[in-house]
Amino acid sequence: MTIKKHILSILVDNEPGVLSRIAGLFSGRGYNIDTLSVAQTMESTASRVTMETSGDEHIVEQIIKQLHKLINVITVVDLTEKRHVKRELALIKVHAKSEHRAEILRIVDIFRCRVVDVAQDYYTIEISGNEEKLMAIMDLLTPMGIIETARTGSIALSREKTTKRT
């Protein structure tokens, strides 16, 4: 069996303790959560948990079945094989010595991200995209001296089915 990353979109009741039950299921069975993001949906009574986990098809099938059994879980969808849009947000604080400022701003322009905070000796850059894009900009900024980073983890939504044009 092949182990690969799966992205799960879990719709849950927006109540205290729900995330704890989900995390408890994963820790109790020895499954790992690679990334995790949670936010309220358009309905104030529901939240969407987006998580990435790794495993073969059998393990992920077991995870989904166990998640469906949890109280407050409304739906679980594995988006991995479905058409979906996936993004991640990162904030990167990088040293901005005078000799590197122009190069950093060129990188920001090329990656279509933006500087959200400026000080005398650093820039804080906001970028969104897939994991490869985030890793690519971090590779380019590393020689300048990345001070710290914060990443959201993946968020994803399924794409709507397209209608055939006649």
Per the structure, how many domains does the chain have? 2
Could you tell me if residue 165 is inside a domain?
no
DSSP-assigned letter for residue 82: S
**Both structure tokens of 32:** 């790992």
Within a domain: 164: no
What are residue 92's phi and psi, to 5 degrees? -125, 120
Q: For each of the chain's 166 residues, which pLDDT tens digit applies? A: 788 999 999 999 999 999 999 999 999 989 999 999 999 999 999 999 999 999 888 999 999 999 999 999 999 999 999 999 999 999 999 999 999 999 999 999 999 999 999 999 999 999 999 999 999 999 999 999 999 999 999 999 999 887 666 6
Rounded CA gap, 37 and 35, in Å? 7
Q: Are residues 24 and 76 in the same domain?
A: yes
> Are 73 and 100 in the same domain?
no
Range of the domain at 48: 4-82
Last residue of a domain, one of 82, 115, 150: 82
Asked whether residue 130 is assigned to any structural domain, the reply reads: yes
Q: Would you state the pLDDT for residue 164?
A: 67
Q: What is the CATH number of the domain that holds 119?
A: 3.30.70.1150
- Is residue 148 assigned to a domain? yes
Name the token pair of 143. 């020689």
Per-position b or e across 102-129, b if 16+ CB within 10 A of its CB: eebeebbeebebeeeeeeeebbbbebeb
